[in-house]
A and B are shown apart, each in its own frame.
Chain A
Amino acid sequence: MAEILQTSVLSKTFGGLAAVSDVDICVNDGEIHCLIGPNGAGKSTLFKLIIGMYQPTSGSIAFRGENVTARQPYERVKRGMSIKMQTPSVFKELPVRQNIHIALQHHVARTELAREEDRLLALLELSNDAAKAAGALSHGQQQWLEIGMALALKPTLMLMDEPTAGMSPEETFRTGELIQRLNTSGMTVLVVEHDMTFVRQIAQRVTVMHFGAVFARGSIGEILSDPRVAEIYLGKTHAK
């Protein structure tokens, strides 16, 4: 399977703190790859390095074979990356439909815009709330709206930072199903997640981070049976 994303000895320090340290991660084209680790392991910082919100202190990032380390976030998005942030990042004062419209308008022909908006709103189960201000949606709905905005860009690599944070178990399960559907249609997904039930539902490969570095990697089965991982993060009950 070809690599779509590759980081090489990627590091980021803030003052004397090494938030990400010599991280080599490889994400294959078409897989669902989960990034797990305890709080402060550097997962969200790594995401921000990948999308370009932070510039690395050292190391490089290759996306679809191109070195994008010096590229601005919008340039990486234009090359096929898309991100759903940890906390819902939507245009809260604007109507839900306009949020989707802004995300879609440069990726869909003008004549197709309204139909595509309707399709995405239906997919996100937000059709009845299309005229509401995005800030008036529930937390879970805002999470879904943001996922919809990220999907509107038709990315080849979707980065999702804790996509189910604040969601009910049912919403979490449905989000997992959505991610699997997207993956089936060819989208590569890189997910940061704490909820191990959710990780089990979707993950094909898992990378564990600890103190800013890669601690372990493998299939979900391998990770769950690794006693070192259980020790630092999962808790012994999960390892059984």
Chain B
Amino acid sequence: MLRLVNGSQTVGNGWPFWLCFVIVLASALVYPVFADPYDVGNFAYFLIWVFMALGLCLMWGYCGMLSFGQTFFFGIAGYSYGVLAINFGGGSMTVVALVLAVLLAGVSAVVLGYFMIWGRVGGVFFGIVTLSATLVLAFFLGQTAGPEWRIGEARLNGFNGMKGMEPLNIPWFGGESLYFEGASLYYLAIGLIVIVYLALRMLLNSRFGNVIVAIREDPQRAELLGYDVRKYQLITFVIGSSLAGLSGVLYTSWGQFITPSSIGLPAAAMPIVWVAFSGRGDITATLLGSFLILVAFQTITVHSQQAALILMGGMLLATVMIAPQGFVIGIARLIGRPFRGRRATSTKT
């Protein structure tokens, strides 16, 4: 099973890669010891979004399904977490709220995905339908300002968004509760990213991964090899969308609020930019690139949100024009070229 973390579907398979992985992970783990707590909190915020990017990379980069629906599932799970956490009364029930909210995002993905995939919606229309669902949800939530829009104790609050839910917390030693905020949220995000990243690597290098790559290349040929393409597409869509849901829950827990603006058009376009810029063909590139873009975006947003959005648009254009396979993958290949050349020469001699 563990041997699947290495394979042809994922970049980086030798010991130098895993040595770098360990060094980066160790650095990330000791970072809060030396860093300002404010920066640690910011980093936790950046890491929260990575799940959504990884989910899109799985769907788009590996299975060929360009989904604009990541923030749809982000919103479903984020709002569900808020409603459940408020109605459950917080405490350790927030963990139950997390699990149920992610499951709800997954069930929504099953329903939406079933109608799209069994209805043979493909190519650009897949993006259009998922974008439509996202916009419908954002507009719907935007008109829920009235007091009648409540679920139990939880008010949806229209454009102002839902607030008042407890952050994730678990019982801790000495009868205290451990709230996942600041450094603890940072460590939770790191732990989850490691689990999700390794699990995705194993999935992608398994038989399942081979099939979804085949579907990306030629769905008809994949079906003519005996694979039920629709089933594989639906499973991939559900996994990718549930990861967006995980981002939604962690985001809501982090800020203790969620608004329709985190679902709407500008937000829905962001994961596409992150993944396209990073390199949709590989989850390591997506992980690394998305994190770096989020840091850059936040840094620029502090000075001007408009400038940050323009930069995102510029990055997408540059990616399409200069490095369609993604900048992180492009740079990695550029760095690796001399080594490959040397290896080829030594093989010949």
**CB-based contact B226/A89 at 8 Å:** no
The minimal Cβ–Cβ distance linking B216 to chain A, given in whole angstroms, is: 9
The interface-forming segment of A92-100, A205-213, A224-232 is A92-100
Which residue of A is nearest B281, CB measured? A93
**CB-based contact B228/A72 at 8 Å:** yes
Report A-chain residues with C-beta under 8 Å of the C-beta of B153: none
Q: Given A89-B218, A91-B218, A94-B217, are A105 and B223 also a contact pair (CB < 8 Å)? A: no
Report A-chain residues with C-beta under 8 Å of the C-beta of B228: 72, 74
Q: Pick the most buried of A83, A92, A98: most chain B CB atoms within 10 A of its CB.
A: A98
A200 within 8 A of B: no
The minimal Cβ–Cβ distance linking B340 to chain A, given in whole angstroms, is: 13
**CB-based contact B8/A91 at 8 Å:** no
Interface residues of A in 68-116 (CB under 8 A from B): 72-74, 77-78, 82-83, 85, 89-95, 98, 101-103, 105-106
Bound form: Cα–Cα A78–B228 in Å: 10
**CB-based contact A53/B214 at 8 Å:** no
The minimal Cβ–Cβ distance linking A110 to chain B, given in whole angstroms, is: 9
Q: Given A101-B210, A102-B211, are A153 and B226 also a contact pair (CB < 8 Å)? A: yes
Q: Pick the most buried of B207, B221, B222, B229: most chain A CB atoms within 10 A of its CB.
A: B221
Bound form: Cα–Cα A11–B241 in Å: 42
The minimal Cβ–Cβ distance linking A112 to chain B, given in whole angstroms, is: 14
Which residue of B is nearest A73, CB measured? B223
**CB-based contact A106/B226 at 8 Å:** yes
B297 within 8 A of A: no
Report B-chain residues with C-beta under 8 Å of the C-beta of A73: 223-224
Interface size on A, residues (CB 8 A): 25
The minimal Cβ–Cβ distance linking A152 to chain B, given in whole angstroms, is: 8
Which residue of B is nearest A83, CB measured? B224
Report A-chain residues with C-beta under 8 Å of the C-beta of B331: none
Q: Which of A51, A53, A98 is B210 in contact with, Cβ under 8 Å?
A: A98
B227 within 8 A of A: yes
Q: Which of B220, B223, B225, B229 is A102 in contact with, Cβ under 8 Å?
A: B225
The minimal Cβ–Cβ distance linking B236 to chain A, given in whole angstroms, is: 16
**CB-based contact A98/B207 at 8 Å:** no
Bound form: Cα–Cα A121–B120 in Å: 34
Bound form: Cα–Cα A94–B226 in Å: 19
Q: Which of A51, A92, A93, A105 is B224 in contact with, Cβ under 8 Å?
A: A51
Which residue of B is nearest A98, CB measured? B8
A149 within 8 A of B: yes
Main SS at interface, chain B: helix
Q: Given A94-B213, A102-B214, A106-B207, are A77 and B221 also a contact pair (CB < 8 Å)? A: no
Report A-chain residues with C-beta under 8 Å of the C-beta of B227: 74, 106
Report A-chain residues with C-beta under 8 Å of the C-beta of B225: 77, 102-103, 149, 153
User: What 0/1 pattern do residues 220 to 252 of B give for CB contact below 8 A with A?
Assistant: 111111111100000000000000000000000
Report A-chain residues with C-beta under 8 Å of the C-beta of B207: 105-106
Which residue of B is nearest A107, CB measured? B226
Bound form: Cα–Cα A93–B8 in Å: 13
Report A-chain residues with C-beta under 8 Å of the C-beta of B213: 91, 94, 102
The minimal Cβ–Cβ distance linking B278 to chain A, given in whole angstroms, is: 19
The minimal Cβ–Cβ distance linking A186 to chain B, given in whole angstroms, is: 20
Report B-chain residues with C-beta under 8 Å of the C-beta of A92: 217-218
**CB-based contact B214/A74 at 8 Å:** no
Interface residues of A in 90-146 (CB under 8 A from B): 90-95, 98, 101-103, 105-106
Report B-chain residues with C-beta under 8 Å of the C-beta of A98: 8, 210
**CB-based contact A77/B224 at 8 Å:** yes
Report B-chain residues with C-beta under 8 Å of the C-beta of A77: 223-226
The minimal Cβ–Cβ distance linking A124 to chain B, given in whole angstroms, is: 16
Which residue of B is nearest A99, CB measured? B214
**CB-based contact B210/A105 at 8 Å:** yes
**CB-based contact B210/A89 at 8 Å:** no
A-B contact list, 27 entries, CB within 8 Å: A51-B224, A53-B220, A72-B223, A73-B223, A73-B224, A77-B223, A78-B226, A82-B224, A83-B224, A85-B221, A89-B218, A91-B213, A91-B218, A92-B217, A92-B218, A94-B213, A94-B214, A94-B217, A98-B8, A98-B210, A101-B210, A102-B210, A102-B225, A106-B207, A106-B227, A149-B225, A153-B226
The 4 closest A-B pairs by CB, nearest first: A91-B217, A77-B226, A89-B221, A102-B214
